[in-house]
Structures are given as structure tokens and as C-alpha cells.
Amino acid sequence: MTNINSPTTHLGTCPHDCPDACGIQTEVQNGYAIKISAQKKHPIADGWLCAKVSPYLDRVYHPDRLKTPLRRIGPKGSGQWEIISWSTAIDTIKKQWDRIIQSDNAEAILPYSYSGTLGLVQMTVASARFWNRLGASQLERSICMAATRHAVRATLGARMSPPYQQVESSKLIIFWGHNPASTAPHLMPFVKKAQARGSKLVVIDPRHSRSSKAADFHLQPFPGTDGALALGLAREIIVSGNHNQVWIDQFCHGWPQFRDHVMTFDLHRVAKITGVKVSQIKHLAKLFVQQSPTMIRMGDSLNRNIQGGQTVRAITCLPALTGQYGILGGGLSCSTGDYFAWNDESINRWKHCPAPGRTVNMNRLGFELNNTRTKNPIKSLFVFCSNPMISAPKTSEIKKGLMREDLFTVVHDLFMTDTARYADIVLPATSQLEQIDLHRGYGHTYLGYNHPAIPPIGESKSNWDLMQLLSRAMGFEDEWLYETPDEIINGILKATQNDTHRLDNISLKTLKENGYQPFASEQEIPFSNGHFSTPSGKIELYSQSYEKAGLSPVPDWKMPSVDLELDPSKTLYLVSPAAHHFVNSSMANLDQLLDREKAPSVLIHSADALRMGIEDNKKIRLSNANGYCDRMASVSDNVRCGVAIAVNGFWQNNDQQTTVNWTTSDNLADVAGQSTFQSNRVEINLL
Ligand SMILES: Nc1nc2c(c(=O)[nH]1)N[C@H]1C(S)=C(S)[C@@H](COP(=O)(O)OP(=O)(O)OC[C@H]3O[C@@H](n4cnc5c(=O)[nH]c(N)nc54)[C@H](O)[C@@H]3O)O[C@H]1N2
Ligand SMILES: Nc1nc2c(c(=O)[nH]1)N[C@H]1C(S)=C(S)[C@@H](COP(=O)(O)OP(=O)(O)OC[C@H]3O[C@@H](n4cnc5c(=O)[nH]c(N)nc54)[C@H](O)[C@@H]3O)O[C@H]1N2
Ligand code: SF4
Ligand SMILES: [Mo]
């Protein structure tokens, strides 16, 4: 007989939107999780968890966890609820949807989900099968890194970042618009090992970040000018004769056009655009050619820009000039997302579904909710794994849409988020400790299985359990809507094994036993076979796909138009990067982490503050045509002049405060329907 008091250990994987996808383990005693830690042998987690997930049990057992379904009984957003049973909740949803489908059609229902969990079952499949079967609107999932994916694929054919471990062999590491000390923390030990052996770290970021503290050289361009900086660097490398012509001739397509184009980016012009001195650009160009192998680690903030696609293309072309692709420690690191693709049909089941509904860009949620001119307006919104009132742009429009009396909104979450507050029905969701899943880190090359460690808290249900309830209510009989999570994982693994050799030694059984398994070796050097899966089979300095799409085929940078309504003497760029202690808005309701992140503030350079008469710790308003956000000023020299920084993720907490996304626009980038959070300017006024 087992002793009920002895703890059991359950292997899992961190589900959050973070490239590290750490292997975790939970100790459970008498059905209660008593400790969470990193798996010691997990090659990336290496026995330690980040600041945000270390106190995870506080999140799992938080008194504010939703425990039952709720129905709105007051005006929208009033916070007045009654507890209802699951069967009443599902019945209400079914009745509303039947009505909507009859009067409009299923396209009038929009499922909106994103990165609460990155699991294959609870995110990917739960966002696909039921909704496809229903014929609901499709969601263009372009809030995060769609332009990067598009631009890197156009240039290299695939996003094949080298495993973190290979950074140890780099002589020069460039964090470009990236702050991994906060956002990919398990990369840092590999970088530190390289530095201990004499490698140099360059950080390109308008602010001082936790990562720039470790830098040997820090360049601080204006936000959104990185494309020009990359093209200026390219020019400098070429005119100084330090490019590798033999390599370029063999592996690149469109060299003459690229070379001629970058010649227009002379360093004086580039210095004026970027605010970086000519001498600094020259110094970086020198490091770039002297310190081979060079690895550029590119952050996604760069693609959240109206020229996001062209910016990423310009940066992706740089390592090609000195032949860095295909060598150990060289190249571009951004995502391992294209090592293989999950078999699409096994996820979506398109063949058994009606024609997909129209596609709604998630960055235009507010616009679409208020779009009465369309043939088919959104009548019902179903949000899970996302908190668009905080994370999506142009909050004023989203709020206006959510307040629509004729919109039937359901939110499934662990907490009463700022989005859930506007729902008609709120449903309680399980945490990672309460659900099965499979994960694939986008920073490394391991799959990680997640065993549930504890039973669901209260009456909470996982996303997939909820999809099954909805399928049954809507009368769907297809057996693939009712598979267990393990059956789903097994089916997708098997279907994908027919498409790729990468999963040859991986099975559901081995994953469950080991907790994680590699799908590529740490020694594999991407592109070392010299093949790039672009139309030319080469690195496309001149992109044929961009040409076809009517975009500049060579990476370009143009001066964006300036918002004439803002007073230039009071206007700063506003950058809203990731917080150290939250993942997007997740975890931003935990007191311990809020205390450590400190009160929401906006960082302003002392010269700007002096010029505008702003003092440290005074309340200021950041405003533009989209709206405003009030913050305490934090005056220091930790950001370049002309730029303000307000980290993203803080909650509004019943409208007690506004967030940065009240000022961001829903304009889309040049490619892939990408969000443009970082193309933002605000006027600053004392309150
Ligand atoms: N702790 C924590 N970790 C996270 C997240 C989180 O919210 N918190 N979010 C996760 C997600 S979803 C993502 S996509 C990643 C994002 O992780 P990162 O790619 O690191 O993104 P950010 O923190 O947005 O921006 C990184 C740095 O880029 C700078 N930056 C912003 N705009 C520009 C620009 O135009 N040019 C240059 N050169 N620099 C610029 C910012 O000042 C910031 O210091 O992190 C993931 N990990
Ligand atoms: N201004 C500005 N805005 C940004 C960014 C920026 O840099 N600046 N970054 C953008 C980026 S990169 C991203 S990826 C997006 C992220 O935006 P979102 O995907 O909306 O991420 P979160 O805000 O963390 O909201 C996730 C929600 O899912 C819930 N959740 C967690 N696990 C589960 C689960 O298993 N089931 C269910 N039903 N719910 C769950 C969490 O409690 C949380 O409320 O934000 C974007 N917003
Ligand atoms: S958030 Fe990232 S670093 Fe932290 S535990 Fe999860 S995967 Fe690891
Ligand atoms: Mo993201």
C-alpha cells in the first residue's frame, strides 16, 4: 500500500509564451502541489526557473482563481455576477449561438485566443477543431511575430535558429531589439560562457535593459529605425571590402541589386535617421567582420513596426554578407519554429469541416467589433487564453465593442481579467498543473510533455474539455472532437512522422516517460548543407516573393510619416516592452510579482524631462489620437533622448488605471497583418 503522505513528483513543461519552454516538476502531497521546480536534467531549464514562474503555486492556488461559471446580472462591465452551473452555462451559449447562426451564420461567431498557454492540445487544437467544424470566423494570429516569420522565410526559407547551446561558440553576439535576460532567460548562461571566453556582446536597444547591463557595446537607435541601421552596416561592410564575395556568389540571390540599393544608405544619412553616431556604426561594422562567428539574436519587438517585414529582412541579410550562415556560432537566432511543421490536417480536420469562415485580424479586434458596415458583423466573441483588453492595440475601440448590447461574449480564463469583466458568461479554466499537454519551445529543439499534477481547482475545465462540451451541445458527432488529449498528441505525432524524420525516435510513451525529447541534435548547424528553401534555393537578398507581392524586393527603409496632430516639442516615441516579472498580462495580478516589478511608470530621459518641465515621480499623461495612458514619470538616463518606455502587461484593475495599449494604434505592418505596437508616438503632459 502506498503511503498517502509521501510526495509524488509529476513532470511537466512551462506553458507560457516564452522561448525557453522549461521542463518543470511538481511535488504533490495529499492532492496538493507543495513545490514547483525546474527539471534538473532539462538541457535548457538546467535546474532553475525564472522570477515569474518560481512562485507559480501562488498563481495556481490564488484566492482569485475562478471556480465556477458566472453569468452577468448587471450592466456590461459592472462586475455583477451570479454563479451558474456548467450545464446552464453551456445551454445559454448554445441557445445564443443557435439564434445567431439562424439569423446570420456561424461566421458571426469569433473565437479569439492566443498565448495563455502554447500547448499543442490546449492552444493549437483547442483553437482549431471545434471552431472549424462550426464554420466560425478564422483568426489571423498576427499580434506577435507574423512579420518576422514572413520575412525570415522570404530570405532564408525557414526559421531555423541554432540551438541556444551554439551561442557558446559565437565570438560576437548581437541582441538586436531583444532583452533575453527578461524574456528568454535561459539563453543567458550560454552567452555568459561565451563572454567568459572573450566573446563580445553588443546590444541594440534604445533603453538600458537587464540584457544591456551585460553588454560590451550598446547602441541606442530610435525605435523603428533598425532597418536603416542594418542597411548602413551592410554598406559599411561592403565599401570597406570586408564582405565575402565568394560565399555570396555561391549562396545568395540578387547580390548586384542588393549592393546597389544599400549604397544609398551612406553613414551620415543613417546616423541622422537612427540617432546613432557614424563612429559607432563603423565600430559595429568592424566588430562584425573581425569577430567571426557572429550570431544575431533578433527580438520580435523589431517586427512590431510599420516597416517590420523590411526591417527583419534587412537584419536577416547581414550575416550572409560575411558568410555566417551554416557555421557553428554564426547566423541568425530568432525562432526554431520551422525545424518541422505539425501535420496541418491532423490539427484542423479541414476535410471534415465546412469551408472556413472569413478571417479576422486579431490586431483589429476593436475595429471589427464596431464594424457595422460589414455584411456579417461579429455577434458573439469567445475569448480564451488571451486578455485583449490589455494585450491588443487600441483599447478604447475594444472596450466600446465589448460594451455592445447585442454582442454575446464568453471568456474562459483562470482569473477575472479586464476582458472577462465585459463578458456575458465567464468560465473557469484550469492551470497547467491541472491539464495534459505537449509543448515545443520556440527557442530550442525539445518537445516537452505535461502531466497533470493535481485535480482541477473548483469546477475549472481545460480548454479541450470545454471544446468537447461545446461540440456535444452543438450536436457534432465527429469522433475527432472527442479524443482524449493523449489520443490527440499521439495522432498528431504519428501524422507528422509521415512528413518529417525529426520525430522518428519520439512517441507519446517516451515523451511521457522522459518528460522531454529532442527533435534535433544540439550539434546540428542550420543551413550547413548550403540549401535554403527559397524560390532560388539561395539566401534571397533580392526576394522574389516580395517582388511578386508588390513589395520592395531588396530590404528597404523609408521615413515614416509624422503625426501632425501632436506637438513636436512634447512628443516622444513610446516603446512598450515585455515586463520582467509577468508574461504579457499573465501573472500581473500576483502581489509578489507586482511588488517586484514596481508601480507602472514611464521612463524618460533627464534631458527630455528638463525640456518638458517633468520631474521624477510626477504623474504625467501620454496621449495621442488613439487615447491616453497616465503613468508616474521615472526620470533617468536609462533610455535615449526622444524615447519613453512603459512596460506592457499591467492590468487596468476595474479602470483604476489605463494601459499603454490605450495609445497604440491598430495599423498593420508592411507584411503578414502584423501588429505595430512599437511604432508609437505620444505627447507628454503633466497632470
Ligand atoms: N518576462 C517576460 N518574458 C517574456 C514575455 C513577457 O511579457 N515577459 N513575453 C514573451 C513574448 S510573447 C515575446 S514575443 C517575447 C518578447 O521578447 P523580446 O523580443 O525580448 O521583446 P521586448 O521585450 O518587447 O523587446 C525587447 C527590447 O527591444 C527594445 N525595442 C523595442 N522597440 C525597439 C526598436 O524599434 N528597435 C530596437 N533596436 N529595440 C527596440 C525594447 O526596449 C526592449 O528592451 O518575450 C516572451 N517572454
Ligand atoms: N503594448 C504592447 N502590447 C503587446 C505587446 C507589446 O510588446 N507591447 N506584446 C504582444 C505580444 S508579443 C503578445 S504574444 C500578446 C499576448 O497577449 P495574450 O495572448 O492576450 O496574453 P496575456 O495577456 O498573457 O493573456 C493570456 C490569458 O490567458 C489566460 N490563460 C492562461 N492559461 C490558460 C488556459 O490554459 N486556458 C485559458 N482559457 N486561459 C488561459 C491567462 O490567465 C491570461 O489572462 O500581447 C501583445 N501585446
Ligand atoms: S516563463 Fe520561460 S523561463 Fe520562466 S519557467 Fe517558463 S519557460 Fe522557463
Ligand atoms: Mo509574443
pLDDT per position as a tens digit, 111-153: 999 999 999 999 999 999 999 999 999 999 999 999 999 999 9
Average pLDDT over residues 438-458: 97
Ligand nearest to the CA of 185: 3
The rounded mean pLDDT for the chain is 97
- Percentage above 90 pLDDT, the chain: 96
C-alpha 334 to ligand 3 mean position (Å): 17
Q: What is the pLDDT of residues 214-267, one digit of tens each?
A: 999 999 999 999 999 999 999 999 999 999 999 999 999 999 999 999 999 999
* Cα separation values, 125 from 345, 631, 668, Å: 11, 39, 27
Q: What is the pLDDT of residues 145-197, one digit of tens each?
A: 999 999 999 999 999 999 999 999 999 999 999 999 999 999 999 999 999 99
Q: What is the pLDDT of residues 494-505, one digit of tens each?
A: 999 999 999 999
Q: d(Cα 226, Cα 274) in Å, to the nearest integer?
A: 7
Best CA proximity match to 459, nearest among 15, 36, 124, 83: 83
Say which residues have a Cβ less than 8 Å from residue 487's Cβ, sequence separation at least 6.
none
Q: Which of 13, 14, 65, 115 to mutate to test the pocket of ligand 2 (most atoms within 8 A of CB)?
A: 115
Q: State the DSSP string of 559-594.
A: PPPP-TTS-GGGEEEEE----SSSBTTBTTT-HHHH
Residue 1 has pLDDT above 50, yes or no: no
β-pair type (172-176, 200-204): parallel
Query: What's the start-to-end Cα distance of the chain, in Å?
Result: 68
C-alpha 575 to ligand 1 mean position (Å): 10
For ligand 1, whether the C-beta of 578 sits within 6 Å is: yes
Give the confidence band of 448 by pLDDT, cuts at 50, 70, 90. very high
- Give start and end residues of each alpha helix (H) in 223-277: 226-239, 245-251, 255-262, 267-274
Residue 398 has pLDDT above 50, yes or no: yes
Q: d(Cα 196, Cα 245) in Å, to the nearest integer?
A: 32
Q: Which residues of 326-350 are buried (b: 16+ CB within 10 A; e: fewer)?
A: bbebbbbbbbbbbbbebbeebbbbe
Ligand nearest to the CA of 677: 2
C-alpha 323 to ligand 1 mean position (Å): 28
Give the confidence band of 477 by pLDDT, cuts at 50, 70, 90. very high
What domains lie within the chain, and their CATH numbers?
Answer: 8-60 (2.20.25.90), 70-144+348-465+503-518 (3.40.50.740), 146-334 (3.40.228.10), 568-686 (2.40.40.20)
Phi/psi for 120 (5° steps) reads: -65, -40
Are the CB atoms for 144 and 118 separated by under 8 Å? no
Task: Tell me what pLDDT residue 373 has.
Answer: 85
β-pair type (446-450, 437-440): antiparallel
Asked if the peptide bond before residue 206 counts as cis, ω within 30 degrees of 0, the response is no
Radius of gyration, CA atoms only, the chain = 25
Q: d(Cα 610, Cα 262) in Å, to the nearest integer?
A: 38
C-alpha 183 to ligand 4 mean position (Å): 10
Percent of the chain that is helix, strand, coil (3-state, to 5): 35, 20, 45
Residue 596 has pLDDT above 70, yes or no: yes
Burial of 129 (0-12, 13-18, 19+ CB in 10 A): buried
C-alpha 307 to ligand 4 mean position (Å): 18
* Cα separation values, 651 from 349, 446, 584, 647, Å: 37, 33, 10, 12
Q: Which of 140, 461, 586 to mutate to test the pocket of ligand 2 (most atoms within 8 A of CB)?
A: 586
- Lowest average pLDDT, out of 335-344, 370-379, 497-506, goes to 370-379
77 is written with which cell numbers? 462591465
Best CA proximity match to 157, nearest among 340, 338, 343: 338
Residue 4 has pLDDT above 90, yes or no: no
* Cα separation values, 218 from 176, 280, 640, Å: 10, 9, 11
Pocket lined around ligand 2, Cβ cut-off 6 Å = 17, 114-117, 122, 143-144, 384-388, 390-391, 412-415, 417, 429, 463, 576-577, 583-586, 648, 660-661, 664, 677
405 is written with which cell numbers? 448590447
Q: What is the pLDDT of residues 638-659, one digit of tens each?
A: 999 999 999 999 999 877 789 9
C-alpha 579 to ligand 1 mean position (Å): 8
- How many Cβ atoms are within 10 Å of 192's Cβ, its own excluded? 15
Average pLDDT over residues 90-100: 98
β-pair type (408-413, 138-140): unpaired
Q: d(Cα 309, Cα 263) in Å, to the nearest integer?
A: 20
> Listing from the earlier edge strand, what are the strands of the sheet with 408-413?
81-83, 70-72, 425-428, 408-413, 380-384, 109-113
Three-class secondary structure assignment of 51-103? CCCCCHHHHHCCCCCCCCCEEECCCCCCCCEEECCHHHHHHHHHHHHHHHHHH
Residue 69 has pLDDT above 50, yes or no: yes
Q: d(Cα 463, Cα 121) in Å, to the nearest integer?
A: 8
For ligand 1, whether the C-beta of 205 sits within 6 Å is: yes
Which pTM does this prediction carry? 0.98
Q: Which atom of ligand 2 lies at the shortest distance from residue 586's CA?
A: 24
Are the CB atoms for 679 and 303 separated by under 8 Å? no
3-class SS of residue 266: coil
φ/ψ region of 298 (left if φ > 0, alpha if ψ in -120 to 50, else beta) reads: beta
3-class SS of residue 394: coil
Q: State the DSSP string of 410-446.
A: EEEESS--TTGGG-SEEEEB--GGGS-EEEE-SSSSE
- Residue whose C-alpha cell reads 538600458 in the numeric block: 208
Best CA proximity match to 545, nearest among 328, 123, 254, 342: 254
Give the confidence band of 3 by pLDDT, cuts at 50, 70, 90. low
Q: Which atom of ligand 1 lies at the shortest distance from residue 179's CA?
A: 20
